[in-house]
Chain A
Amino acid sequence: MEKSFIVSSSPHIRDNASTRQIMLDVIIALIPASLAGVYFFGPRTLMVILVSVLACVLSEYASRKLMKRSNTILDLSAVVTGLLLALNLPPTAPLWMVVIGAVVAVVVIKQLFGGLGQNFINPALGARVFLFISYAGHMTNWVIPGADGVSSATPLGLLKAEEAAEIVFPSYKDLFLGNIGGCIGEVSAAALLIGGVYLVAKKVIGPEIPLAYIGTLGLFTWIFGGPTFFAGDFLYHILSGGLMLGAIYMATDYATSPMTTKGRIIMGIGCGLLTGIIRLYTNYPEGVSFAILLMNIAVPLIDRYTVPKSFGGGKAVE
């Protein structure tokens, strides 16, 4: 043979999608929420975000180098993890704690389980819960937007504050825009929704999980969240806490969510129910992190029971 040709299996063409582009889209989608965080909580917030992203990327690079695996920082997944971790931290988070969170997220949760796509829980959420349990004080040190260092409770915290004599609940407008206490990236429902619409429009995520999640929580808190049945302030619940951030950006994490539409709806409903139960019936004001982590663990099971029938209605070979 004078000429050598490449032989490979079909198909011989591929579309332009890439892991890197998907990650880039997620980063773009998180920019409004990040900016909102910086706007409401001041420039130090930017520091938290940068440290988190940098620590995640370095952890990814170093851990893979140490394990003699290929360098994967260019797929940008570590940037996404870093960004999500920062947005899940209070603005007052000490930087050393941010670094610890980053290492836990990338090294322990992601790389030790096989790297991208293999982690069984969402790295950023897992790290957040790790920090929450290890440094409860730092993780619940909330501040009011604008007023430097003035402590405050989160909107959901107010719901659980039974002793306080006079509680002023934030307005829906403040909840929607983000003029409230909370984690850096969770406060502005508006900013999160803008990014969510972008992700759905770019087909990076399907709308199934966010809609099922938010819808279920809304329904649950409407039915059980008030003094009588069907009297709960569901809008307050939907706009508060980490729901938007969790439903749009965390519960939809590819590696830790089901792969079929049916499975994804089950995932969303499960997250909504667990969040509602935790918010209404436990000591914790907020339940999004725990709900998503619990559903993450259930994903292999959901996948197992939602194997679709082949086109034409074939049965599984038993």
Chain B
Amino acid sequence: MLVKNFFKGGAKVPHFKNTAECETVKMEVPEKVRIPMLQHIGAPCEPCVKKGDTVRVGQIIGNSDKYISSPIHSSVSGTVTDVAPMLYAGGIYVTTVEIKTDGNQELYEGIKPPSFSNSNEFVSAIRESGLVGLGGAGFPAHVKLSPPSGKKIDTLIINAAECEPYITSDYREIIENSWNVISGINIIMEVLEIDNVLIGIEDNKPEAIKEMTRVAETDDKINVVKLKSRYPQGAEKMLIYATTGRKVPPGKLPADVGVIVMNVNSVSFISEYTKTGMPLIKKRITVDGPSVKRPANVEALIGTPISEVFNFCGGFGIVPKKILMGGPMMGIAQFTLDTPVLKHTNALLAFDETKAVLPKEQACIRCGRCVKACPMNLLPLQLNNNTIKENIEELNKYHVMDCIECGSCAYVCPAKINLVQSIRLGKAQVKQAAAKGGK
């Protein structure tokens, strides 16, 4: 086991891994699912079913001819009851296919294990599977797995850092399905001809480190890297640096420094998919937070309304005031419980009033804590100042576009300034100015 480099900055966040020992429990098929046509970074899919159609499990119901996109499959068998735009957190309307389930979960006839003999066929099979990065960002996996020609990939990094508080979804995958992880890794190694695999796990998960070390023992090409527990250790650039010592320059991709980073759940899925041909239709979700009666790790079908996931966990004890999809550092606050589970949903958190209400903003005292905390080496307070002034030139001077929005700065700010919110606005200002043809 290797202990490698450590990035500068970051924040010491609480762990709250309350559900670490909660074995995954499978949720029943809901009465109705709502499956949005955008569950990834990239172009949204066009629905290829219409109201009244019957669909089966694993059937493609939305696809796109754009490269950076990922097909959407039905997670249930049943009848399409509606195809209409639905409002999601973030203020965007996405075409959503609503399916009334018949409870039989009949498989689509086209489902069979994919066959591939070279990397191109492998990558198109992965595209067909609908796999997107399951760590939370949802970047289409087939794009990750096809590096631009001329870029030699020598290292595959498996992201099992899981640095966000509460979430134990990656951890459970290692504890419950470690051989799947290894077999998924082996498939990628073989197809992409990679000889070096590093599995990064934070040192607050000794059991996971032990388990992965055990199953990887016989293969000296696969090594477990013990990472220091510090947020945002699982951020792609930080993880690459921690495991290999390589720094991805701003605006560049991991492939530019010869690595591919995959989430531990993603590689495990690849192993399952090559065996069964079943596309991505379900997801393990950590359900936690002070308002949840019985915190748990739940396997839910994609499209399940989150209200049903919470109900499955005993409902709410204390009245929830904030619902998060994802972790507390980067997760997205939801405005309704009708929102469905998405491909890359890894946690659903319910905060009561005491946790939901953030402290009031005060004046910046220039203490520099945000500067120390920024893993990207930026000056968050200057970005905030220049966003307020809408000073595009200065925002660029302070590298606003390099911000990864990890939230470390806002977390440590003693004046409780909503720095990430401000920086996001600053990025939007820069993009808008660029679109207008300004500097």
Contacts and interface: CB of A to CB of B under 8 A. Distances in A.
Given A257-B366, A259-B379, 10 more contacts: A5-B323, A6-B333, A9-B418, A10-B331, A10-B407, A12-B358, A254-B366, A310-B378, A311-B375, A313-B249
A310 B379 CA distance: 9
B368 A255 contact: no
A125 B213 CA distance: 59
Most buried by A among B248, B321, B365, B398: B365
A9 B362 contact: no
Interface of B: 7-8, 11-14, 89, 165, 237, 241, 247-252, 320-324, 328-337, 351, 355-359, 362-369, 371, 375-379, 381-382, 396-399, 402, 405, 407, 410-416, 418, 420-421, 424
Contacts of B11: 15
26 contacts: A1-B336, A5-B356, A10-B328, A10-B420, A11-B329, A12-B333, A13-B13, A13-B14, A13-B355, A13-B411, A14-B411, A18-B359, A19-B414, A75-B362, A116-B363, A117-B365, A118-B363, A255-B365, A259-B366, A259-B368, A307-B379, A307-B398, A311-B7, A311-B377, A312-B248, A314-B249
A3 interface: yes
Given A6-B333, A22-B365, A259-B379, A312 B250 contact: yes
Interface of A: 1, 3, 5-15, 17-19, 21-22, 72, 75, 77, 115-118, 206, 254-255, 257, 259-260, 303, 307-314, 316-317
A312 B416 CA distance: 28
Given A117-B365, A117-B366, A11 B420 contact: yes
A22 B382 CA distance: 21
B373 to A, nearest CB: 10
A314 B251 contact: yes
A7 B377 contact: no
A303 B324 CA distance: 37
A303 to B, nearest CB: 8
A54 B73 CA distance: 69
Contacts of A75: 362
Nearest to A203: B369
A308 B365 contact: no
Given A13-B165, A260-B368, A8 B237 contact: no
Contacts of B322: 5-8, 12
A288 to B, nearest CB: 21
B contact patch SS: loop
Given A14-B413, A15-B412, A7 B366 contact: no
Contacts of A10: 328-333, 405, 407, 420
B424 A259 contact: no
Given A260-B368, A312-B247, A13 B337 contact: no
A17 B241 CA distance: 29
Given A307-B379, A312-B248, A314-B402, A9 B424 contact: yes
Contacts of B397: 307, 316-317
A6 B357 contact: yes
Contacts of B320: 3, 5
A7 B334 contact: yes
Given A3-B337, A5-B323, A260-B371, A312 B410 contact: no
A12 B331 contact: yes
Contact of B365 (A7, A13, A19, A303): A19
B376 A22 contact: no
B410 A311 contact: no
Most buried by B among A7, A18, A312: A312
B333 A310 contact: no
B358 A22 contact: no
Contact of A311 (B323, B398, B402): B402
A238 to B, nearest CB: 26
B325 to A, nearest CB: 11
B402 A19 contact: no
A12 B396 contact: no
Contacts of B329: 10-13
Nearest to B414: A17
A312 B247 CA distance: 5
A288 B231 CA distance: 40
B375 A18 contact: no
Nearest to B334: A5
Contacts of A3: 320, 337
A6 to B, nearest CB: 5
A310 B376 contact: yes
A5 B333 contact: yes
